[in-house]
Amino acid sequence: MSEIIFHHYAVSPVAEKVRAGLGVKRLAWRSVEHNRLPDRPELFAMTAGYRRIPVMQIGADIYCDSQCILRELERRFPDPTFFPNGAPGLPWAISRWTDREIFELMFRIAFAPVMDNLPAALVNDRARLYLGPDADLRKELESLPHALAQLRGHFGWLDANLTDGRSYLTGSKPGLQDVLAHYLLWFFTERYARQAEFLAEFPKLVAWYGRMRAIGHGTPTPMTAAEALDVAKSSTTIVAPTEDPRDPQGLKPGMKVAIGPLTDTGEKLVEGSVRAVGRETVVIDHRHDLCGEVAIHFPRVGYKVTIAG
Ligand SMILES: N[C@@H](CCC(=O)N[C@@H](CS)C(=O)NCC(=O)O)C(=O)O
């Protein structure tokens, strides 16, 4: 099987979620580091312009969004599983809480206090992306105590899940829930100056976070973006054209579509023709001189697929 190629940058919290997932599965992977601002021509060639980080590439298959990436990791590398207690549905539902409600709070808490120390281009870009066109980080700064009060409640729920002495949120082994909570603790402890004081009332959560950090990231070795393009060029997708007669939108292989986040974030839509349709993913065909033919995978939940024309 081709290697796992992970496109990311070090300070990306969502990339940290996947790095922790690679650690739980003890995987070897190739690490391609990109810019923090969206100046990533090699990656955009492969993703048809999908602007977010992280992206996973295996051969000519390109997986956009951490949801899609973690699902594919579980499919290809089921042992050790992300679902040590079975029941592989609820953790995905939990991701809608962690990735939306808590992540949005975290963004405010991480960015508002330091906005004057960061490049204006970065602050404006991210504020538009996460808080919409009317974003005002000065107002967010005034509301910081409110955001912290919210976060305290959410962290309290995570902490409460550990009160029976279990090592991980899932039980004795780490699972998807742990990975989903880990990156938020990582974001918070890396970025919020008074994090230790805030977390002092959650000793179990702090100890759990120590165990998650000790798991590490698996075994990364660096790769250049040019090498990653060559891998795509010399590979073929593993996905056969697939229909889904139950698809509510009637998507079919060959249809031209545009894909973007469910809520308008100002991001460019990704265009391509459908290759495979399913309840959890949609795969589109894309071609670019730099990478040849690739198949780009998107989650269905959280994304809007619009039939072009
Ligand atoms: N739903 C996406 C969210 C990814 C996301 O927002 N990533 C951030 C970095 S942590 C990003 O791409 N920010 C804009 C950028 O880096 O250009 C996922 O789960 O992968």
217 closest CA partner among 29, 5, 8, 7:
29
Q: Is residue 85 part of a domain?
A: no
Q: Is 60 in the pocket of ligand 1 (CB under 6 A)?
A: no
Host domain of residue 239: 5-80+220-307
What is the DSSP code (8-state) at residue 168? Answer: B
Q: What is the pLDDT along the chain (309 residues), one digit of tens a residue?
A: 699 999 999 999 999 999 999 999 999 999 999 999 999 999 999 999 999 999 999 999 999 999 999 999 999 999 999 999 999 999 999 999 999 999 999 999 999 999 999 999 999 999 999 999 999 999 999 999 999 999 999 999 999 999 999 999 999 999 999 999 999 999 999 999 999 999 999 999 999 999 999 999 999 999 999 999 999 999 999 999 999 999 999 999 999 999 999 988 889 999 999 999 999 999 999 999 999 999 999 999 999 999 997
Q: Indicate whether 228 and 188 sit together in one domain.
A: no
Q: Is residue 11 part of a domain?
A: yes
The residue out of 213, 242, 267 marking a domain boundary is 213
The residue out of 160, 188, 213 marking a domain boundary is 213
CA 205 – CA 200 distance, rounded (Å): 10
Q: Is 52 in the pocket of ligand 1 (CB under 6 A)?
A: yes
Q: Indicate whether 174 and 96 sit together in one domain.
A: yes
pLDDT at 105: 96
Ligand 1, atom nearest to 125 Cα: 14
Q: Indicate whether 197 and 227 sit together in one domain.
A: no
Give the dihedral sign, CA 87/93/94/99. positive
pLDDT at 47: 98
Q: Indicate whether 104 and 144 sit together in one domain.
A: yes
Q: Indicate whether 113 and 169 sit together in one domain.
A: yes
Q: Indicate whether 294 and 279 sit together in one domain.
A: yes
Q: Indicate whether 34 and 105 sit together in one domain.
A: no
Domain count, the chain: 2
Q: Indicate whether 207 and 225 sit together in one domain.
A: no
Tell me which residue has its CA closest to atom 13 in ligand 1.
52
Q: Indicate whether 62 and 102 sit together in one domain.
A: no
The residue out of 162, 187, 213 marking a domain boundary is 213
Q: Which of 12, 101, 107, 303 to mutate to test the pocket of ligand 1 (most atoms within 8 A of CB)?
A: 12
CATH number of 302's domain = 3.40.30.110
Q: Is residue 291 part of a domain?
A: yes
Q: Is residue 55 part of a domain?
A: yes
Q: Indicate whether 139 and 195 sit together in one domain.
A: yes
pLDDT at 264: 83
Ligand 1, atom nearest to 51 Cα: 17
Angle at the Cα of 296 from the Cα atoms of 228 and 88, rounded to 5 degrees = 105
Q: Is residue 22 part of a domain?
A: yes
Q: Is residue 224 part of a domain?
A: yes
User: Hey, which bits of the chain come out as E strands?
Assistant: 5-8, 28-33, 55-58, 61-64, 219-222, 256-261, 270-277, 281-288, 292-299, 303-307
Whether residue 10 contacts residue 64, with contact meaning beta carbons closer than 8 Å, is answered with no
Stated pTM of the model? 0.97
CATH number of 151's domain = 1.20.1050.10
Q: Indicate whether 168 and 203 sit together in one domain.
A: yes
Q: Indicate whether 184 and 119 sit together in one domain.
A: yes
Q: Is residue 44 part of a domain?
A: yes
